[in-house]
Structures are given as structure tokens and as C-alpha cells.
Amino acid sequence: MRKIVLVLVLANALFFAWSRGWLDGVTGIKADGGREPQRVALQLKPERVHLLGQEARVALQKTSCLILGPLADANALQAAQTTLVKAGVPANAFAPRSETLPPVWAVATIKLPNKDFQARKEETYKRMQIHFEYLQGHPEEEPTMILSRHESEKAAQAALAQFEARAFRGLRVLPLQVAGQRSELLFAQADGLLQARLRNLRDADLAAKVHECAKPAAAASAPPASGPAAKAG
């Protein structure tokens, strides 16, 4: 009986010492099981951690087609891919592509100076049933409205003359691309997190080349020469 009592006393003493953490280094089993407050102390900038609401989660899950480009040549294409991988972008999130480009010229508005001017232009073109789209991939010229696309400068100038004959003002012929090769990176399904990462790359020049995939454009056509004259406003 005496031995049993001694064993129980010793067991209780060991359990007490272990529960206080005095034997962590000996047993290799932490008394607190790795729970608080040690884990809290190991957090890095815990104030930046926030639970996402339903709207934020939906926004992050929404995907969009993005393009990073144009890139000058094969070397620039490879350098861009290396930069993206170093920035934590998964290599399977994008696909490189190159294509031969024909020249493209457009009849376009001037660079729209403010929102009010832009709204008046939109209202006028909608009222006159004139198709327009917004220029993409040329940050230095945006916002600009494209009214038609053409395969040569001569064809674009002819279309501009027809617009001007109808008293439309504030238009110009704008070269959209020269003939040659274009290389770019395609992000077919970029979620909200990836979109933010691309637009906030440390390489500002590369981030500036990120834009949405162009929507299918309507067939380029010159405006009809007949009809009442109207000013574009």
C-alpha cells in the first residue's frame, strides 16, 4: 500500500511540474499544446487581418480576362514571365502568345478632358446611332472613343472626311498599331486577388501594361454619307 501511495504522489508531482511547463524541454510536449498566448505573439501584423464579408468574397471570386502587353520582343516576354513568377503569380495563371499584326488606323475622338464632355459625346453618338467603343491598351490616350477601325491611313482619312461632312467635330485619325509582331501574356481567368496583384506589381512599367481583353469589335465601317447634319457636341 505504501508503494502505491508513493507512486501516486510522484505521478501527481510530475503532472503538476509538466502542467506548469517546467518539463517542456525534457518531455518535448508543451503543456499549453501550442495554444495562446504563444501563437498570438508569433503573428505578423495581426491588425491587418480582417474577415471578409460576403460582397468582398464574391468580388475576389469574380474572374476577368486580362492581358499584359504589348511586349517588345521575345526577350521582353521572357523577362515579364520571370518577374511575375517572382511576384508570386502562378506560372499556370497565364499563357504567352505572339501574333502577326496588320496595321490598324482608327477614327477617334480627341482625348476626352472630363466626365461631362465624355457624357455629352456618349449621348450624341447614341442619339445618332453611331457605334463607339473605348480605346484600351494606350494609357497615354485614354479616355478616347473609337468610332471606326481601318486597315490603312487612307481609309481612315476618308472615313474622317465623311464624319466632318456631317459636321462632327473633335475627331482625328489615330494609329492604333503598326504592322509587325505582338507578344503578350494572357490571363484568361484572373480572379480578384490576381487582378490586384497584377495592377500593383513593383515594376510600374509592367503594371501599366495590364488591361482588359478587348471585346469583339463590330466590323469597321465608314459612316453613311447621307442623313441630316448634326454636331457631335
CATH 3.40.390 is the classification of domain 62-100+181-212: no
Give per-residue pLDDT as tens, 177-232. 888 887 999 999 999 999 999 999 999 999 999 999 977 644 444 454 444 444 44
More confident residue, 28 or 189: 189
The CB density around residue 58, as the number of other CB atoms within 10 Å, is 11
CB 228 within 8 Å of CB 80: no
Residue 56's closest CA among 190, 193, 194, 199? 193
The pTM of this model reads 0.43
Distance between CA 27 and CA 18 in Å, rounded? 8
Domain boundaries, the chain: 2-42, 62-100+181-212, 104-177
More confident residue, 18 or 8: 8
111: left (phi over 0), alpha (psi -120 to 50) or beta: beta
| Terminal CA-CA length for the chain | 107
What is the residue-averaged pLDDT of the chain? 82
The CB density around residue 73, as the number of other CB atoms within 10 Å, is 11
More confident residue, 60 or 8: 8
